[in-house]
Amino acid sequence: MSRRIKSTWITREFARASFVRADGKLIILDEDGWLALAGPREDGSLELLAKAQPLTSNAWTVPTLAGATLYLRDRKEIMALSVGRH
């Protein structure tokens, strides 16, 4: 028995990526190390709010948010970024 999965958000900005949802936004990390913050729109598209490339090697681990700290990892390093309000 197969189920059809309905897409909630669609973007062609990232080839292969994982994400975590926080505060109504998506924190997206793609396999090339690009990190983005996006806001989902009601029409199913994503509004790209910010983008940076903090990692340089293959990043296959899902970004992890613990409180106001975002943890990212690629094949060479792991980093913790403060994402809280200052």
**What does the longest C-alpha to C-alpha distance in the chain come to?**
50
**Predicted model pTM:** 0.83
75 lies in some domain:
yes
State the pLDDT at residue 10.
66
pLDDT, mean of each 10-residue run, the chain (86 residues): 70 82 94 94 88 94 95 96 82
State the pLDDT at residue 60.
92
State the pLDDT at residue 13.
76
State the pLDDT at residue 9.
67
36 lies in some domain:
yes
CA separation, residue 73 to residues 5, 40, 66 (Å): 29, 24, 14
Q: How many domains does the chain have?
A: 1
64 lies in some domain:
yes
Alpha carbons 77 and 3: distance in angstroms, whole number: 38
54 lies in some domain:
yes
- The CATH code of the domain that includes 27 is 2.40.10.480
